[in-house]
Structure 1
Amino acid sequence: MRRFLGCILLIFLISCSSDSTNRNPYLQEVNFRFDLNLNLPLYNGLNNIGNPVYVGNDGVGTRGVFVMRAGLSGAQFVAWEASCPNHAPNTCSTMSIDGQNVVCDCEGYTYNLFTGQQLDRPDDGGRYYDLLFYRATQSGNTVVISN
């Protein structure tokens, strides 16, 4: 009986794991859902691959969301948080679109909208974060962005 209980205890200890993900300490997890109608002129740019659109509606992300049609076939959409991921949200943390990149107005950091990666990461040994990704799925002429 002792061996059986010992085996059960060992199984529980082995099955436990620690979450080693590096969660961004500056951005909160915001639950939301927003529907983009691709027929509206405001979101017309999303009908072409590589044309990002900023959605700054209240309740969409922390400081809004950047949405872009991506992928070789153009059947995929990506959505990223519009607040710079490398400092707490403030008056200058909402990034601006620069082609297929976004730029933080505070430090001038640049991020790619296809991958979400920071393009000009300083080599100072500090911890830097890439853009926060949101789910974007298409259903007919509607793109649903959610977290």
Structure 2
Amino acid sequence: MKKIWLIIVFVSLLFSCSDNNKSNKNPNIPNYSVNLSVDMNLPAYSNLKFVSNGVIIPNYGAKGIIIFNAGSGYNAFDAACPNQPITGCVAMTIDGINAVCSCDKSSYSLFTGLGGKEYPLKQYRVEVTGTVIHVYN
């Protein structure tokens, strides 16, 4: 009985650790190294203290990084249009709780990264310590 239980645990861990997320395997967006810290006490980022607010920080990732306060935590996405060639579009813009692609006007939720197209927004990891948001991959 113990062997069966161990096999079940091992198999469930194996599948839970696999990286099936399409956003990390997007052929349109290169994998750039990202290591960014933002202090919400600075005026440029103070609106991140409030739910449903976001900012775009240029010069990181492929086309900049969007940081968004989702209420239950912070999300960070690349500002590159996920379903367009990297050279075809400028950075996405924030429209309320969505990011909008400049090329095809596709809209992506900043809560989930989903937009009804083949690829979702490319997401980065986020850690918050006090008022500092650390975005990395």
Q: Which amino acid aligns with 2:35?
A: R
How many residue pairs get matched? Answer: 119
Please say which of residues 87-96 and 46-55 is displaced more in the overlay: 87-96
- One-letter amino acid of the counterpart of residue 57, structure 2: V
For structure 2, the residue ranges without an aligned partner over 5 or more in a row are 1-13
User: Superposition pairs for residues 1-147 of structure 1, below 5 Å?
Assistant: 22=22, 23-56=25-58, 58=59, 60-71=60-71, 74=72, 76-90=73-87, 92-119=89-116, 121=117, 128-147=118-137
RMSD: 2.0
Distance, in Å, in 2 between the alignment partners of 1:90 and 1:30 is: 15
Q: Cα offset for 1:70?
A: 1.4
Q: Which runs of 5+ in 1 are unaligned?
A: 1-14, 122-127
- Match for residue 4 of structure 2? none
Higher Rg: 1
If the length of structure 1 is used for normalisation, what is the TM-score? 0.74
Residue in 2 that maps onto 1:4? none
Task: State the Cα distance separating 1:93 from its structure 2 match.
Answer: 3.6
Could you state the TM-score of these two structures normalised by the residue count of structure 2?
A: 0.79
CA distance in 1, matches of 2:19, 2:36: 29
SS in structure 1 at match of 2:68: strand
SS at match of 2:124: strand
Q: Distance in 2 between matches of 1:35 and 1:138?
A: 9
Q: Distance in 2 between matches of 1:68 and 1:90?
A: 25
Larger proportion of helix: 2
Which segments of structure 1 move beyond 4 Å, counting only runs of 4 or more? 18-22
